[in-house]
Amino acid sequence: MKKCIWCRQDENKTTFNKTAHIVPQALGGEQICENVCDKCNEFFGSHFQKFPSVETIIKEAFNISRIRFLIHFGEIGKNKILTKPTSHFFDIDIKKRKFELKLAYKLQKGYQEKLCRLLKKGIYKMFLEETERRNNNALDNQYDFIREFARYDLGDYPVFYYERTSAVILTPVELVKRPQFIIGGVGLKYLVNEPCFMEFEFLGHVFSIATTRYWAIAFDNYLAKSEKAKSGFFRGFIPLNRFNDFDFALKILDN
């Protein structure tokens, strides 16, 4: 019997008719999480109080990164993956390599902080659904804080963003066409996998998130290990607080 990883209701109390994509389908995501009910699936795709949905902000922000790679791989144009990139929130100029948050959103008081919170909720949302797909253990109590934050907007938890030192990003074209997570401990030596933190690479970006609500007590040990593994590859990390803290346009590629 299916049981939703978000609201914990099973098939006797809710429905599971719709497909829940872990990475938004509009972003090229193909992997699905079977244990997300229709109501929770709809929640992540719904706008709220004039703000975009969690899915929308994930799709829009990471689509800018995806466009940068698709340009490099020659996959934008007639009969390609993308014919003409468009965005509600971003100004896009392919020829000038311009990818910026539109002025109306950039200057609106408090908006960048609110967009960042949606981005963080979306990253945790994708992580928990990917955890369920891989390990079938997302209902464990240790992940209650993610349910509280991503689904019910309670509390606040960190997303750390690592800044690269080099424009060389070895992201295969298939992971651009069909984005997936590369998780710490698998493949990339600079990604570490600690009990209280999870690092992963997604569309050229490296993030770290907490895997327990008590992450702060283990932070110093984690940071020392992570910085050692990333020496020579990354400048350091930024705690995401404003939307523009995240280099969605992969400006490092302009160097």
The model's pLDDT over 202-254, given as tens digits with 9 standing for 90+, comes to 999 999 999 999 999 999 999 999 999 999 999 999 999 998 898 888 888 77
Residue 48 placed within a domain: yes
* CA gyration radius, the chain: 18
Least-confidence region, from 17-26, 131-140, 172-181, 213-222: 172-181
Residue 146 placed within a domain: yes
- What is the Cα–Cα distance from 174 to 58, expressed in whole angstroms? 19
Residues 6+ apart with CB under 8 A from 156: 117, 120, 149
What is the per-residue pLDDT for 4?
98
**Are 137 and 130 a contacting pair, CB within 8 Å?**
no
Share of the chain above pLDDT 90, in %: 58
The model's pLDDT over 16-39, given as tens digits with 9 standing for 90+, comes to 999 999 999 989 999 999 999 999
What is the per-residue pLDDT for 185?
59
- What is the Cα–Cα distance from 28 to 22, expressed in whole angstroms? 11
Q: What is the mean pLDDT of the chain?
A: 89
**Are 76 and 67 a contacting pair, CB within 8 Å?**
yes
> Mean pLDDT over residues 53-58, rounded?
92
Closest CA to 249 of 55, 61, 56: 61
Cβ of 101: how many Cβ atoms within 10 Å?
A: 22
Structure tokens of 227?
């910085």
Residue 183 has pLDDT above 90, yes or no: no
The model's pLDDT over 57-80, given as tens digits with 9 standing for 90+, comes to 999 889 888 888 888 788 777 777
What residues are paired with 32 via a beta bridge?
21
What is the per-residue pLDDT for 79?
72
What is the per-residue pLDDT for 186?
60
Structure tokens of 162?
């690592």
Confidence of residue 148 (pLDDT cuts 50, 70, 90): very high
More reliable by pLDDT, 102 or 6: 6
Residue 184 has pLDDT above 70, yes or no: no
Residue 187 placed within a domain: yes
More reliable by pLDDT, 168 or 84: 168
Residue 97 placed within a domain: yes
Confidence of residue 187 (pLDDT cuts 50, 70, 90): low
Range of the domain at 171: 25-254
**Are 196 and 218 a contacting pair, CB within 8 Å?**
yes
More reliable by pLDDT, 188 or 139: 139
Structure tokens of 79?
């009969």
Domain count, the chain: 1
Residue 198 placed within a domain: yes
pTM attached to this predicted model: 0.92
Which residue carries 């992580």 as its tokens? 127
More reliable by pLDDT, 92 or 135: 135
Closest CA to 181 of 146, 138, 130: 130
Which residue carries 């689509």 as its tokens? 63
- What is the Cα–Cα distance from 167 to 133, expressed in whole angstroms? 32
Cβ of 104: how many Cβ atoms within 10 Å?
A: 9
Share of the chain above pLDDT 70, in %: 96
Residue 17 placed within a domain: no
Q: What are phi and psi of 9, to 5 degrees?
A: -85, 145
The model's pLDDT over 87-119, given as tens digits with 9 standing for 90+, comes to 777 888 877 777 888 887 777 788 889 999 999
Closest CA to 117 of 91, 155, 88: 155
Structure tokens of 214?
């008590």
Residue 150 placed within a domain: yes
Residue 10 placed within a domain: no
